[in-house]
Amino acid sequence: MTDIEITAMLKKSPHECHRMLLKEYSRYVYAIVYNKLRSCASTEDIEECVSDTFADLFIALDEGNCTDIKNMAGTIAKRRAIDRFRSLAEKSGRTVSIDGEEVRNLASEMNVEEISEGNELRRMLLRAIASLGEPDATIIIQKFYYDRSSSEIAKDVSMNASSVRSRSTRAMKKLRAMLESEGITV
Residue 150's CB is within 10 A of a number of other CB atoms, namely 19
> Residue 14, preceding bond cis, omega within 30 degrees?
no
pLDDT at 110: 64
Going residue by residue through the chain (186 aa), what tens digit of pLDDT does each one get? 666 676 677 677 778 878 888 888 888 889 888 888 887 888 888 889 888 888 888 888 877 766 778 888 888 889 998 888 888 877 766 555 555 555 555 555 667 777 777 787 888 888 888 888 888 888 888 888 788 888 888 888 888 889 889 998 998 898 888 888 877 776
pLDDT at 63: 78
pLDDT at 128: 84
CATH number at residue 121: 1.10.10.10
Domain termination residue (choose one: 67, 93, 109): 109
Domain termination residue (choose one: 58, 87, 109): 109
Q: Are residues 90 and 121 in the same domain?
A: no
The number of folded domains in the chain is 2
Is residue 1 within 8 Å of residue 67, measured between CB atoms? Answer: no
pLDDT at 103: 54
* Residue 142 within a domain: yes
Domain termination residue (choose one: 69, 88, 109): 109
Query: How far, CA to CA in Å, does 149 sit from each of 64, 140, 153, 173, 174?
Result: 50, 11, 6, 19, 21
Query: d(Cα 149, Cα 21) in Å, to the nearest integer?
Result: 41
Residues in CB range of 104: below 8 A, 6 or more apart: none
Domain ranges, residue 32? 3-109
pLDDT at 186: 60
